[in-house]
Amino acid sequence: MNTNLVEQKFQELYGEGAILFTSPGRINLIGEHTDYNGGFVFPGAVDKGIVAAIRLNGSDRVKVHALDLGENSEFGLREEDKPAEQWACYVFGVCREIQKRGYTIGGFDAVFSGDVPLGAGMSSSAALESTFAFALNDLYNLGIEKFELARIGQSTEHNYCGVNCGIMDQFASVHGKAGHLMRLDCRSMEFEYFPFDPTAHGYRLVLVNSCVKHELVGSPYNDRRASCERVAAVLGQEFLRGATMEQLEAVKGEISEEDYLRARYVIGEEQRVLDVCAALEQGDLETVGARMYETHWGMSRDYEVSCEELDFLAEVAKECGVSGSRIMGGGFGGCTINLVKEELYEGFIATATEKFAARYGHEPKIIPVVISDGARRL
């Protein structure tokens, strides 16, 4: 990420004295559609994110320049001052959510830029929120705990950007730690770090972006969530979390075939997250990869949130000897995340690019990622 360009633009617009802050995008190695079921997710921060140059200006006005868009926004800090620009609502929302929690902040000047690929499911919006939440906490010495900074980002999405997201993206962006993934319990909100350094074991982590986003007819996310809630109710539980396959089989006659398949995926996915954590503690990345494939085909066949292009990429990965490959994110398009042995990497990328282009008429985007630190002052 080019911090020099951000600094130069700040000096050009506002003069000297800016301080640089950054927050990363994220990947989720495994644990998909488990968050709203009270289960586990397993994200990590990556080496791509947002960087911002910020300086307090002593007024009650905020001036922000989005370098990648070449756009400016200026706004006050009252509720009625919400800016017209969609991107600026993320910055405004963070300011308002900090104020709603009883903290006093003032105006500032800022320039930001990012290298999180858009549409790849790596949470560029969470990186933007986390950058400004962390920076304002730091610059005003507010003393806000990290988890509350993540909640500020989540509340920004809910209240100012119209996205009813979970906590995972902001959590990973704030709490990221180089060489580690984080297992977050979405029921208790407890988390722990697990060492994850693929290069030390001769592997690489790479996203293959299909550049496809299918139009979602109806409300597929809500439908799947409702399926899970119905099965949980039959089992006498609030969430599917903690349910066993034996319990599911016992009530199979009382639920629809579709609800059965949805629940089978979620119960299996919860176990796969725990299996992956245990495998990482043993340095066993082949088991990690095997569970990734299981997740992919579970999402494709039982949860039905894959698409032809992503299934094709997972099949090509398997043919190339890739240790693990799966859809990353909610589904219906986007990326696969792939765990690849170093010696197979170049061959896999060349084959996947060539075969995908031959089948679909455009090349996928290749995005290598390294697990990195979370929000920080540079």
Give the residue numbers marked as catalytic.
169
Residues with Cβ within 8 Å of 219's Cβ and at least 6 positions away in sequence, in order, are none
Contact between residue 139 and residue 19 where contact means Cβ atoms under 8 Å apart: yes
DSSP designation for 301: I
Nearest to 292 by CA among 312, 262, 318: 318
What is the amino acid identity at position 285? L
Burial 37-65 (b: 16+ CB within 10 A, else e): bbbbbbbbbbebbbbbbbbebeeeebbbb
Task: Give the phi and the psi of residue 240 in degrees, each rounded to 5.
Answer: -75, -20
Secondary structure E strands in 88-148: 108-114
Spatial distance between the Cα atoms of 56 and 63, rounded to a whole number of angstroms: 10
What is the amino acid identity at position 276? V
3-class state of residue 116 by DSSP: coil
DSSP designation for 364: P
Spatial distance between the Cα atoms of 328 and 295, rounded to a whole number of angstroms: 10
